[in-house]
Amino acid sequence: MRYLRLFWATFSMSTRAAVAFRTNLLFDLLGSLVTLGGAVTAVELVFTRTDALAGWSKAEALVLVGTFQLMGGLRATFVDSSLSWFPSRIRQGRLDLYLLQPAPSLFLASLGSHAPLALSQVVLGAGVIALGLAPMGVPSAPAVLAWLLLIAVGAAITWALGVLLACLAFWAPRLELDVLYGAAWEFARYPVDVYRRPLRLFLTYGFPMAVITTLPTRALVRGPDPVLLAGGVAAGAIAVGLALAAWQWGVRRYTGATS
């Protein structure tokens, strides 16, 4: 409950700051519409030449695009707004601001600020998911529950990967890998089945982009698979554990203004 109250307090402050610039909502929405429109158009073009892409139908591919947009909205809202500035805070010794607070430092550093206007991407993603599900009918309750569980796992992995890459700044302060993370994130836009086996294995077990979009979509449109569910949850637990360990190791070697 303490974490939930702290999260709500930081989100509330970010929301009050965001509504002061309401025009940004319009531009964020337009940008999201253009990006999402391009992704949907790409799917439409691909399926003018084929009936299936690596075993995925057009409707399933649209659900995947919507899930990718939804996850991207969650990442932009809750993760990028804090972690994008993380390496510069370490270089400038500003991490002390979090370490001296009477609250968990990793929580404040990685989830202390938000971009509420980016939630428009979540709404648009949900709309595309509904569009893709329309010809397939309403999914079963177990499928929806499995999708929600894997979405939560994917959100945890998204946060953990962001923290892991940001924590590298403890050892290499000039290294900023947010661009690399953004490029790797694009692999989640497509079903992991379209990639060759070495890359598919890496995106499943090494840098688990498949857990972020492919597994939730597969559970929603094809029904839950206990093995995939267990694997996804295990991947999420491992990623979060590694992020927590990296933070602890990094803080031990951090030298800031009060060190």
Whether 258 is in a domain gets the answer no
Alpha carbon distance 146, 227 (integer Å)? 12
pLDDT, residue 74, reads 92
Quick one: average pLDDT of 157-173? 85
pLDDT, residue 22, reads 65
Quick one: average pLDDT of 143-151? 95
Residue 252: CB atoms within 10 Å: 8
- Strand, coil or helix: what is 56? strand
- Strand, coil or helix: what is 90? helix
Residue 257 has pLDDT above 70, yes or no: no
**What is the distance, to the nearest Å, from the Cα of residue 244 to the centroid of all Cα atoms in its chain?**
17
Q: What tokens does 160 get?
A: 């953990």
Alpha carbon distance 45, 40 (integer Å)? 9
User: Domains in the chain: how many in total?
Assistant: 1
Residue 18 has pLDDT above 80, yes or no: no
- Write out pLDDT tens, residues 185-215: 888 888 888 888 888 888 888 888 888 999 9
Whether 162 is in a domain gets the answer yes
The domain in which residue 169 lies consists of: 23-253
Q: What tokens does 108 get?
A: 């404040």
Whether 178 is in a domain gets the answer yes
Whether 9 is in a domain gets the answer no
- Which phi and psi angles does 53 have, rounded to 5°? -120, 105
In 90-201, which ranges are E strands? none
Quick one: average pLDDT of 15-21? 73
